[in-house]
Amino acid sequence: MGKVRQRELASGGLVVDDSGQVLLVVDRHGRWALPKGHQEKGEQLWQTACREVAEETGVEATVVRYLGRMRYPLPNQPALEKVVVVWLMRATSGQPRPSDETAVVAYMPWPDARARLRDQGYPGAADQLDGWLARRVPGGLVAATKSAAARWRGTKLPGRVDRI
């Protein structure tokens, strides 16, 4: 029987601006990723995503919809699996800027973001996002984020997205 991995839970977002560009960061491991971070006591996971996006990027964003859970091993820590609850989010204000947790923060078109996630990100992240977007955001990023940005604010989420 193989070793059971420990899990680290985070929440973050695929943040889209009004022109349809996606916000990515280069994280502390030197990989392209979505902005994300750990849940604080008393927070819902959607609130964690909003707070972490702002802290890591300088961009305020609201949740549009739940996309899914991403899992991957952490670099240099094979016994630790990162589980990230991912939300589709709409940027509402602020300018991208690096923080103490991010080396680079940049908006880019989805094809460029997908290529960076695939080639210089975490294993499988780009493919998972592509699948979620195809199933859950068939009308496109701009239409989805403009029409539904305030839907999640202050609401209790269906299901148990806070469990891993």
Domain ranges, ordered by start, for the chain: 6-148
pLDDT at 85 (0 to 100): 95
Burial of residue 11, with CB atoms counted within 10 A of its CB: 0-12 exposed, 13-18 middle, 19 or more buried: buried
pLDDT at 61 (0 to 100): 95
pTM value is 0.85
Please, are residues 31 and 126 in contact by the beta-carbon 8 Å criterion?
no
Answer with the residue of higher pLDDT: 25 or 122.
Answer: 25
Q: Is it true that domain 6-148 has CATH number 3.55.40.20? A: no
pLDDT at 157 (0 to 100): 47
Please, are residues 107 and 96 in contact by the beta-carbon 8 Å criterion?
yes
Answer with the residue of higher pLDDT: 151 or 65.
Answer: 65
Model confidence pLDDT, tens digit, residues 65-124:
899 999 887 777 778 888 999 999 999 999 999 999 999 999 999 999 999 999 999 888
Cβ count within 10 A of residue 69: 16
Answer with the residue of higher pLDDT: 151 or 56.
Answer: 56
pLDDT at 158 (0 to 100): 44
**pLDDT of residue 35 exceeding 50:** yes
